[in-house]
Amino acid sequence: MDDRSQGKKPFIKRIGGYLHKVTPIVDGTGKVINSIVTPFQVELKPRDIFQMIVGAYILCVPVAFTEEVWTLSQELPLKNVMYVAGMSVFFVACYVYFNFYRYNLKENIFEYIKRVIATYGVSLLAVGLFLTVIDKCPWQTDMILAVKRIILVTFPSSMAATISDTIK
């Protein structure tokens, strides 16, 4: 057992390059008999970015192929599309907070902000790339329409990216 486990309080330890929360298990006499080790997912690693990319494409592909989203992006005012973007960032931020940082936000505020921005940013890039490849982002003729389409498809895509990031 680690010397810190004698305090019988959970502590953070780096194991195999990743942070883990170690919770000592004590018997009736107060002696540490075992420990529970769980991943402490507050650092943003390259592996997390790749999981976000895969998650973003999980919902990006089927949604991007629908004519409804192409039409909606033409008809919906830019103001409403910006509301969708704001809702998306809000939901990502809430999910990330409650799944990673609820009890330790103060000491990890930079990592929290970085994860939220990375999740939404990766989703935007994945959707933008995919819509460009399938020729549904008219960059040369109507850049506003291209951006609106990307934002609308990023809404579900960012949710999938967020959820896939929690899978370890």
List pLDDT tens digits, range 46-102: 888 999 999 999 999 999 999 999 999 999 999 999 999 999 999 999 999 998 888
pLDDT at 40: 66
23 and 97 inside one domain = no
Tokens 């936000």, located at residue? 105
> In the structure, how many helices (H) and strands (E) does the chain have?
5, 3
pLDDT at 146: 96
d(CA 3, CA 146): 57
Q: Residue 29 is encoded by which pair of tokens?
A: 């006499």
d(CA 70, CA 148): 9
56 and 17 inside one domain = no
Residue ranges making up the domain that contains 26? 3-39
Domain count within the chain = 2
pLDDT at 58: 94
17 and 50 inside one domain = no
DSSP SS3 for 57: helix
pLDDT at 39: 66
111 and 159 inside one domain = yes
Taken in order 70, 147, 46, 102, is the CA torsion positive or negative? negative
138 and 65 inside one domain = yes
> Average per-residue pLDDT in the chain?
87
pLDDT > 70: what percent of the chain? Answer: 90
The pTM of the full predicted model, rounded to 2 decimals, is: 0.79
Q: What is the pLDDT of residues 130-147, one digit of tens each?
A: 999 999 999 999 999 999
131 and 64 inside one domain = yes
34 and 53 inside one domain = no
pLDDT at 95: 94
80 and 10 inside one domain = no
